Amino acid sequence: MPKSKRQKVVSLTVVKKKDRAWKQSLIQSIRTCVEEYPSCYVFKCANMRNETFKGLRDELSASSRFFVGGNKLMRAAFGKTKEDEVEKGLAKFALKIIGSASSIAAAANAANDDDEDDGNENENDNNGGSNKRKKGQKYKNNSGSQNNSTKVTKKEQDNEHDTTTTGVVFTNLSKEDLESVMEEKTTKDFARVGQVATETIVVPEGAVMNIFGVAMSHTLEPTLRKHGLPTKLNKGVVECIKEKTICKKGMKLNADQCALLRQFGYKLATFHLYLKAGWVKETGKTEEYANEEEYLDYGDDDEMLEGDDNTFASDGLPASMMLPAGL
């Protein structure tokens, strides 16, 4: 039956979109801080957690001020050219406010797609509009292959795991003191969907124990089995039927894997802030800092081959527990 037009989803939220007035207020706040504070730094936060970051802002509220907003908007606040910059050297400093490597590539690909669409539209106009693109169809060049786009290397993907947040901080503290406070806020937390596993977690056959060596409660057995762990109850004890790999180092985590890691108590995400570049008002010079973040070798995404019994099916069950095709 056709969908009723009367059944419309009504949003009850009172949150307003960030309009032009909000953007102008952010630009004005940043420019005000340029006059008040002697130095400014670009920082990046891996695995952002709002509660931890809020605690850092409250702790440094007397000496520093943090801004996390659109990168383009923050660059515009500092000035894009030497004629527009608020203070000497800020135009060069604004160039350091960039996101992850994947976001840069996505922006470049979007720009290429726009240029490509414009060119094909002009071609269609010349041909009387006969060569129209169908929905979901991608344009191809004359050689029959897709146009080349900006590619992100494996090293860039390892250095930027798509979980980094970029921002700026104005402060009266020295670089060493600011880094010391940031280092104190480094905490471990549970990984979220899409993040990369930093270690391999294997559940052995037998009684199921969490990371603390405590047996799982019998009430959790249906939950564990729902998320793909082959378990059963044996006289009130949760047992794993056979050895099961929850995640492999270097693989992106799905919802079932994250749920199991939380149940077992494995915290694979690290909230950590580090500085990327700094600007000092007195000299007007911008200094870029070496990335001191130690990224592990996460391996390749093709480490887990098709047909592996440890592969999680789309419905939450492992492939080994799925019924044969045709049944």
In order, the DSSP letters of 141-190 are -TTSSPPP-----HHHHHH--S-EEEEEEEESS-HHHHHHHHHHT-EEE-
Q: How many domains does the chain have?
A: 2
- Residue 314 pLDDT class (50, 70, 90 cuts): very low
Q: What pLDDT digit, counting tens, does each position of 79-120 carry?
A: 988 888 889 999 999 999 987 554 444 444 444 544 454 455
To the nearest whole number, what is the mean pLDDT of the chain? 77
Q: What pLDDT digit, counting tens, does each position of 45-61 carry?
A: 989 999 999 999 999 99
Is residue 162's pLDDT more than 90?
A: no
For residues 246 and 165, state if they share a domain. no
For residues 80 and 172, state if they share a domain. yes
In a domain, 261, yes or no: yes
In a domain, 326, yes or no: no
For residues 64 and 177, state if they share a domain. yes
Q: What pLDDT digit, counting tens, does each position of 187-225 carry?
A: 999 999 989 999 999 999 999 999 999 999 999 999 999
In this predicted structure, what is the pLDDT of residue 198? Answer: 92
Share of the chain above pLDDT 70, in %: 69
Burial class of residue 278, CB neighbours in 10 A (0-12, 13-18, 19+): buried
Q: Which long-range contacts (CB under 8 A, 24 or more apart) does 295-301 make?
A: 295/158, 295/159, 296/198, 296/249, 297/158, 297/250, 298/158, 298/196, 298/197, 298/198, 298/249, 298/250, 299/248, 299/249, 299/250, 299/251, 300/250, 301/250, 301/251, 301/252
In this predicted structure, what is the pLDDT of residue 199? Answer: 93
304: phi > 0 → left, psi -120 to 50 → alpha, else beta; which?
beta
In this predicted structure, what is the pLDDT of residue 200? Answer: 94
The phi and psi torsions of 64 (rounded to 5 degrees) equal: -145, 160
Which of 156-160, 207-211, 316-320: highest mean pLDDT?
Answer: 207-211
For residues 84 and 45, state if they share a domain. yes
User: 236: which DSSP letter?
Assistant: T
In a domain, 155, yes or no: no
In this predicted structure, what is the pLDDT of residue 40? Answer: 96
The CATH number of the domain where 167 resides is what?
Answer: 3.30.70.1730
For residues 49 and 83, state if they share a domain. yes
Which of 120-124, 282-286, 295-299, 302-306: highest mean pLDDT?
Answer: 282-286
Mean pLDDT of 231-252: 93
* Entry pTM: 0.67
Residue 43 host element (H or E)? strand 39-46
For residues 93 and 35, state if they share a domain. yes
For residues 172 and 33, state if they share a domain. yes
Is residue 4's pLDDT more than 70?
A: yes
Q: Which domain holds residue 29?
A: 21-100+160-190+270-284
- Residue with more model confidence, 321 or 209: 209
For residues 179 and 217, state if they share a domain. no
For residues 94 and 226, state if they share a domain. no
For residues 42 and 184, state if they share a domain. yes
Lowest model confidence (mean pLDDT) among 92-101, 116-125, 246-255, 302-311: 302-311
The CATH number of the domain where 225 resides is what?
Answer: 3.90.105.20
Lowest model confidence (mean pLDDT) among 11-15, 251-255, 264-268, 284-288: 11-15
Mean pLDDT of 31-56: 93
In a domain, 149, yes or no: no
For residues 220 and 170, state if they share a domain. no
For residues 213 and 279, state if they share a domain. no
